[in-house]
Amino acid sequence: MAGLWLGLGFTAGKSIAITLWSAITAPFRGQTGGATAYKHVAITFARSFFGTASIEQIQYILPPKSAHNAYKALMHSQQTTPNIVRLHDGTEAFWMGNPDAEKLIIYFPGGAYCIPALPGHFDLVNALATDLKKNNQDIGVLFLAYDLVPHAQWPRQLAQGVTLVQYVIEVLGKRPSNIILQGDSSGAHLALAVLSHLTEGHPHNSIPRLSLSENLRGALLLSPWIDFGTDHESFRTNADKDAISAESLGRWAEALFGDTKMDKYTNPTDAPTGWWKLLPVEKIFIGVGGDEVLLDSIVSLAHKMKTEHPDVLVSRVPREFHVEPITDFGCKPAGSQTGFVAGRKDGFEGFMINRLACRNFEFNLGTSFDKLENMKGLSLGLALLAPLANAVAAPTVDLGYTIHQAAVESTKDGMRYLNFTNIQYGTSRRFQPPIPPPVNSTIQTAGAYNIRCPQGQPAWLSLFGQPVGNLTGVPPVTIADLPPVDPSTSEDCLYLDVFVPEDVFQAKGDYKSSVVIWIHGGGYVGGWKSLYGPGLGLMETAKKEGRDVIFVSINYRLGLFGFLADPDSSDITRNLGLQDQLFALKWVHKYIHLFGGDPNTITVMGESAGGGSIMYHLTSGNASYRPLFQRAIVQSPFTINIPARMQRSTLQEVYQRANVTSFEELKGLSTQALQTANALVVGNAKPYGTFVFGPVSDKYYPDYPPVLLNEGHYLDDVSVMAGYNTNEGVLFASPFVKNDEDYANLVASLFPGISSTALSIITDKLYPSTLSGKYGYVDQTGRVASTIGESLISCNEYFLGEAFARSNTSFRYEFSVPPAIHAVDLSYTFYNAGEATSGVNITLAGIMQRYFANFITTGQPYSHRPTDFPVDDMIQNFNISSVGRMKDSVSTKRCKWWQKADFR
């Protein structure tokens, strides 16, 4: 037992360490990680834990009998007597719904044949049966509790599945045409194996044959684990996106089969195409997530089945990991990238109803939308469930140029809201300013993907937190190193999402809600509107305060698509990404009243490059900004001065990577070629800690924002709440700086064109080589972190606070929860009540969200605490141990030097 505990401790410790690193790097992961930052962190922990933990350790935490306890707990909560069936061979199954109903679902739970059914399995299946009953569809569910590895190896589980089907037909007298087999993961594999055994042509030779008088009504297979090899390409491309890994699957398969020889029942992808011709089932639905490592094997099998079986529907849900709809990760609905909390009513039921009814799928293998409409019944469980296909249509909003339909969703705490995902706010013409979207008279929905703009990620980010060994620099990035382009990526990416409380939308003629517009970060080269989810925590917090918030998140062009510049020519329009943001702000001001929003109570909110973008908007000479927002929340604002010589150098590198010699040639390239060039330029970003692209000066943005703030050129009637994290620069600090010479060279490359005098001030006076801790650092890496953190981020917060305190009202805060590095505060900003925390202190998250929500709705940040935000020279501190006033830890002396911009 001691060894088991030690092993569990090591496994948990390793998983937590890996998860912390994933949380830190999540904002910059591009397309290589989970669809949202929260999901990315959650799946990283799961993948690490299951990839390391033994079956013995897993079953110590989740004993095989825990499925019985979960079932009994559910029945007890419903004041229902548990009804457990025990068959002649010892097989057990649990009844839910009405055992006397004509129509029946036989459910095979997943869990790699070694993890017992979780409470979420029971809650979701029970919710489906309950909801169907409300719609006059009486149905029973018989839930198989098959024996687990290592106590029982294959084909024991197949025999149990066949025995249960035999019991239902021969003992209970159910007609096969009223029965659906349903399963997820290994349970879907078991359902497919049972179907293969029931086929007249090839019953399993070690299990008694069972003949059917007619076909079963249907089979619902969610993320079937049907290939026990790990050589498919999706095991590589989705390795960092899924909650399971080749390592865990390999160990589980070995434990399941032992010395048993693989056959076509155990590895269905090895079966010939003709194997599927006589399957005794009328309709088959296969659902798979686009981020699954099993994706390729599932799609391959589906092709085979579709060739021989007349009615196979396959749905690939973009950006969902393995069995996400029923996995208890607390990932909440967010447009077409919806995740579901196990145990919530919007789990598997929501997956079927919302996804299929709203058409938020990509339909592969030639399946048409018309065919989908005809099969809604099956998608919910069978054609038996058809009445749900005629549910009342979700609300719509008429924008004049199009009509957009919402999805109606609920938070875990019960707040109902409308999700308007992928509303087109502009048309992005390549290398030109945005124009209004085209007129489209058809009703638009979220679509198959949560659209994002072309992305890039610097290679240096992958080195953060990793030992560099003998490396002397960041390895170069080649085409072979680039991840596949996410299918949600498009140059036509000027879309936004609107999330509005249902009651606000219903009262939109009589009531106006405050609005917050989220501008995502990502170094001006990465990120997208749904990166952190829909801001449900802010919406719920505002409602608890007796007010309301509508949350809007926007895309804008990135990298060379949004920030390519040529200081010597007007042919290239500068700052297209900022122009996109301005276009979105104007869209919100014009249309938000149609959702119940007040166009005169708008807050812009952004972090990192999003916060830096807001600094450009606040200091723009463009008069049209003045009515577009009244408040701003600026978190860790990242700006960098990009002089003309750097713009020229970047332009030439773009030409080289794209294999062209002129801007005209560049404009004519395919989107694939341009995206590849962008990814290569960003991937090879130098120096360490930079992103290549970003805003530059032009007629609307006449100078570097810190300079303009110092000169008094800004929107002085805006209220500003600005914050930074204590250790902003750690993420960007090069591990290759070993001495004073390395440090001086890095500073010179960060600020090309810097004079020798200014360089000496930085290296000798502001950040001298005294490594005693006197100046806030004890080694060269810390010295670099202080330099970058202050010059590019935390001093920007200081500049904002000082400027807006002179003209209006400003509120400043510091986030100091360890490790307090760049972007880790966003898990607090976007925490959703009731979710798994992944290290978030729920109390502090609630306090912070109350400050934010009240500032958005009233202009005053308060949270019913004895000390609210200071307006003097003190700063508000957010920490787990305390929340209150403190002395600003930013060096005002160093910041004032940076604001003079003598480094240019």
Residue 575, pLDDT score:
98
Q: State both tokens at 884.
A: 């209150």
Residue 372 pLDDT > 60, yes or no?
no
Write phi, then psi, for 511 (nearest 5 degrees). -145, 140
Note the pLDDT of residue 389: 33
pLDDT of residue 33: 54
The more confident residue out of 296 and 164 is 164
**Residue 770: which pLDDT band, with cuts at 50, 70 and 90?**
very high
- Mean pLDDT value across the chain: 84
| Cα–Cα dist 90/92, whole Å | 6
Higher pLDDT, 524 or 317: 524
Distances 24 to 461, 518, 727, 826 between C-alpha atoms, Å: 10, 20, 12, 10
CB 488 within 8 A of CB 319: yes
Task: Tell me which of 3.40.50.300, 3.40.50.1820, 3.40.50.20, 3.60.21.10 is the CATH number of domain 64-231+259-385.
Answer: 3.40.50.1820
Q: Which of 482-496, 642-656, 824-838 has the lowest mean pLDDT?
A: 824-838
Q: How far is Cα 112 from Cα 597, in angstroms, rounded to an integer?
A: 48
Average the pLDDT over 752-780 and give the result: 95
Determine the residue type at 463: L
Find all residues with CB under 8 Å of 614, minimum gap 6, and list them.
519, 604, 605, 606, 632, 634, 637
Q: What is the pLDDT of residues 546-581, one digit of tens each?
A: 999 999 999 999 999 999 999 999 999 999 999 999
pLDDT at position 863 is 75
The rounded Cα 62 to chain-centroid distance in angstroms is: 27
Calculate the CA dihedral of residues 417, 422, 427, 429 and round it to 10 degrees: 140
Q: Which residues, 6+ apart, have CB-to-CB distance to 543 below 8 Å? A: 415, 501
Q: Which amino acid is at 614?
A: I
Which of 15, 245, 608, 791 is catalytic? The answer is: 608
pLDDT at 254: 86
φ/ψ (deg, to 5) at 811 = -130, 130
As a whole number, mean pLDDT of residues 780-805 equals 96
Tens digits of residue pLDDT in 113-171: 999 988 878 887 887 777 777 666 788 999 999 999 988 888 899 999 999 999 999 99
Question: Which residues make Cβ contacts (< 8 Å) with residue 173, sequence separation at least 6?
Answer: none
Are 64-231+259-385 and 723-900 in the same CATH fold? yes
Residue 649 CB contacts under 8 Å (≥ 6 apart), including other chains:
none
State yes or no: pLDDT of 14 exceeds 50. no
Query: Which tokens is 145 given?
Result: 């509790």
Tell me the sheet residues that pair with 92.
86, 145
Q: Which amino acid is at 434?
A: P
Q: Which residues, including other chains, have CB under 8 Å from residue 388's CB and lie 6 or more apart?
A: 131, 132, 135, 137, 353, 357, 376, 377, 380
> Considering the chain, what percentage of its residues have pLDDT values greater than 70?
85
Confidence (pLDDT) at 421: 95
530 confidence band (pLDDT: 50, 70, 90) = very high
For position 22, what pLDDT does the model report?
47
The count of other CB atoms within 10 Å of the CB of residue 309 is 17
Q: Are 633 and 869 in contact (CB under 8 A)?
A: no
Q: Which of 349, 728, 797, 835 is catalytic?
A: 728
In this predicted structure, what is the pLDDT of residue 631? 97
Give tens-digit pLDDT for 873-903.
678 888 888 787 767 667 788 999 999 888 8
Q: Give the tens place of pLDDT for each residue, 575-613.
A: 999 999 999 999 999 999 999 999 999 999 999 999 999
- At residue 472, does pLDDT exceed 60? yes
* pLDDT at position 337 over 70: no
| pLDDT at residue 838, rounded to an integer | 67
* pLDDT at residue 8 is higher than 70: no
pTM: 0.66
In single-letter form, the type of residue at position 100 comes to D
The span from the CA of 520 to the CA of 455, in Å, is: 13
Eight-state DSSP code of residue 243? S
pLDDT at 11: 43
Determine the average pLDDT of the residues in 52-64: 83
| pLDDT for position 90 | 85
- Residue 346, phi then psi, degrees to nearest 5: -95, 30
Helix spans in 545-659 (H): 559-563, 576-591, 609-618, 644-658
d(CA 44, CA 565): 37
> Is 211 assigned a catalytic role?
no
Q: Work out the average pLDDT over 478-495.
A: 93
Distance between CA atoms of residues 69 and 299, nearest Å: 36
Name the nearest CA neighbour of 847 among 825, 891, 878: 878
**pLDDT for 246-264, tens place per residue?**
888 888 888 888 777 677 7
Structure letter (DSSP) for residue 321: -
Residue 517 tokens read as 């517009």
Q: Angle at CA 675, nearest 5°, toward 671 and 678?
A: 140
Q: Which residues pair with 181 in a beta bridge?
A: 106, 219
pLDDT band at 534 (very low <50, low <70, confident <90, very high): very high
pLDDT of residue 836: 66
- Tens digit of pLDDT for each residue in 845-871? 999 999 999 999 999 998 766 455 655
Class of domain 723-900 as given by CATH: alpha beta
Q: What's the DSSP call for residue 476?
A: P
**pLDDT tens figures, 179-205:** 999 999 999 999 999 998 888 777 787
Statement: residue 412 has pLDDT above 90 = no
According to DSSP, residue 821 is labeled B
Q: In what order do the strands lie in the sheet with 549-554?
A: 407-410, 416-424, 495-501, 549-554, 513-519, 597-607, 631-635, 719-725, 810-815, 875-878, 883-886
| Top-level class of domain 404-701 | alpha beta
215, two tokens = 């076909």
All structural domains of the chain with their residue ranges: 2-58, 64-231+259-385, 404-701, 723-900
Report the pLDDT averaged over residues 6-14. 44
**3-class SS of residue 235:** helix
Kindly provide the b/e burial profile for residues 600-620, where b requires at least 16 CB atoms within 10 angstroms of the residue's own CB: ebbbbbbbbbbbbbbbbbbbb
Higher pLDDT, 590 or 275: 590
Residue pointed to by tokens 């609107």: 498
**Please, are residues 112 and 185 in contact by the beta-carbon 8 Å criterion?**
yes
> What are the tokens at 360?
């938020």
**Rounded Cα–Cα distance for residues 49 and 44 (Å):** 8
Which residues does 242 contact at the CB level (< 8 Å), separation at least 6? 43, 47, 289, 291, 292, 293, 321, 322
Coil vs helix vs strand at 736: coil
pLDDT higher at 843 or 392: 843
Query: What would the mean pLDDT of 729-751 be, rounded to a whole number?
Result: 97
Q: How much is the average pLDDT of 497-516? A: 93
Pairwise CA distance, residues 43 & 888, whole Å: 36
Task: Reply yes or no on whether 728 is catalytic.
Answer: yes
Q: Return the pLDDT at 179.
A: 94
3-state secondary structure of 313: strand
Residue 868 has what pLDDT? Answer: 59
Provide the residue count of the chain. Answer: 904
